Structure 1
Amino acid sequence: MKAKSFDAKFEKGEDVTKSLDLSKARRPLQEQRRVNVDFPAWMVESLDREAGRLGVTRQSVIKVWLAERLEQIASNK
């Protein structure tokens, strides 16, 4: 499919995903990398309580809090 046809279909609101190879799609700066971090037991327990209160996973709490802190640091520069 030519780019012009693709753009026209997209602009009309048609589904163009069939024309894409999504198996290699990546979100810039969103690629996952696994890290291992050891926390003291009291910290894990606190994280679990907060995760339970929010109804999310421990991992989600950690990600959100780290993201907030990193954004705060970046905005102060």
Structure 2
Amino acid sequence: MAKRISAEEFDRIFDEGNEDIVDYLDLDKAVVSYPDLDTDLRRVNVDFPEWMIDELDREAKRIGINRQAVIKTWIAERIDRMRAARSA
């Protein structure tokens, strides 16, 4: 169950970036959407070291999604940051 705080407190924590906000989210109702991922899918095989798979699985379990969703989400977030940096 998510910790309850005000919207203002949530915004402050998010903006400061020093604390993980996942504990404040109700992930049972969360929807992750990256529209670019829904088009023209291509399969890519990637080999990861075992320790990395273990970390991915821990994060997936922590936030209640599967390993592939963690990988796609993290890569999409990184691409978003790169695009933002290029356009700044």
* Partner AA of 2:83 in structure 1: A
Q: Deviations over 1:21-54 (max 9, x none)?
A: xxxxxx8772111000000000000000000011
Return the TM-score normalized by structure 2.
0.54
- Segments of 4+ in structure 1 off by > 4 A? none
Q: Equivalent of 1:61, from 64, 70, 88?
A: 70
Q: Equivalent of 1:49, from 42, 58, 67?
A: 58
Could you tell me how far apart the structure 2 residues matched to 1:43 and 1:66 are? 15
Identity %: 53
- Note closer, same or farther for the CA distance 1:33–1:53 as it changes in structure 2 (3 Å cut): same
May I ask how many residue pairs the two structures share in their alignment?
51
**Cα RMSD, aligned residues only:** 1.8
Query: 2:81 is matched with which residue?
Result: 72
Could you tell me how far apart the structure 1 residues matched to 2:68 and 2:84 are? 24
Query: 2:5 is matched with which residue?
Result: none
Q: Equivalent of 2:42, from 23, 33, 43?
A: 33
Return the TM-score normalized by structure 1.
0.62
